[in-house]
Chain A
Amino acid sequence: MTGQQIHQETGLHADVTVEGRLHATLHAEPGRVVAVIGPNGAGKSTLLGALAGTVRATGRVEVAGRDWSDLPVRERRLGVVFQDRSLLPHLRARDDVAFGLRARGVPRREADRRALGWLERLGVGDLADRRPAQLSGGQAQRVAIARALAGEPDLLLLDEPFAGLDVGVATGLRIELARHLAAYAGIALLVTHDALDALTLADEVLVLDEGRVVQTGTPREVAARPRSEHVARLVGLNVVREGDELRSFAPSAVAVSPRARSGHDAPATSARHRWAGRVAAVAPHGDAVRLLVSTEDGPELIADVTPASAVELGLEPGAEVWLSVKATAVQTDSMRP
């Protein structure tokens, strides 16, 4: 695969391998925002590192017509928003944002002017003289985003930009980031754990699992037809794997009935669509009651029932139940890309 020639003019074209951790091929056009999602340890941060050059990788990376494969980190025109912000502790916000410009040869005054401009655009112009220790998490993240964008990079890498922020702060920042990403001409890669980020910010979604790309598509496509258990869970669907087939269905489509010890009272559906299990947890979910059921032959499934039937059927943790789902409510996908 690594010998494959890549000859495009614009956008991001990468085919990278990090021994034992990641093998991924991806393409993105300029102006696009790609959300990278996947379970912990799937290789999301490794992928960003491989593109940035901070993680040793083989293969090819081409950005905006330039071959980055053998370029040292500092010669890649990129902006990185690190998960922990990583603002330089000894610098004032304005100097931190100007740092990259100065390093790339912009004269001091001009760099300072542009840095202030970016801080103002991110709504933290009044904090320009503060050091990281004097900034809140949300403020620091705004400075970090300003710093990443100030260099007008061809590739913008955001590693869980809302991690560790209060929900309110994250929501405000998400809306603003969407605006900045819409105005940004380069390619943005956004690692996230949050389905909402992927749906609101991204044009495309790339799903990683065990170091491989298991699915790409628009957020809508990926949410509607998830091809991995992680994504199905992320968008709140049940997912059952059978060989190469992945069957998914909504928790509201699951019917629940009490089960006798003998097990002879199985619902009259095909064995593929019913599961014997035990209620593991019960929690309110909107107007419904959400049950987490551990089934006897494997997957954990979620089922939404009305509060009335939860009481009537005695659905408490430990209750033995049958779960079933109508065949028409199940969506079947192949896991083979």
Chain B
Amino acid sequence: MNEWEIAATVLGFALIPCIGVVLLAPPPHGLAGMQVAAVLLSTILVLLSEGFHRQPFVDLAVVFAPMALVGSLVFARLMERNL
């Protein structure tokens, strides 16, 4: 196991409290937790593609990061109307 896989595993476990906030806290708090979880997941995808020496898989992270941004913006707009 190299350092990139170790970092991906650690950040993978760090996703658990974020998901806890998303599930248990009120919607506005959950949105903040979702945004941090999205950043973590993008990072994990980069780390895994580097750790497993599978360069093409970094495209997953390149696609996921902007999609997470758009998803968060949509949620934020929906939150205005007491989702």
A and B part of one assembly: no
Identify the B interface with A (CB < 8 A): none
Identify the A interface with B (CB < 8 A): none
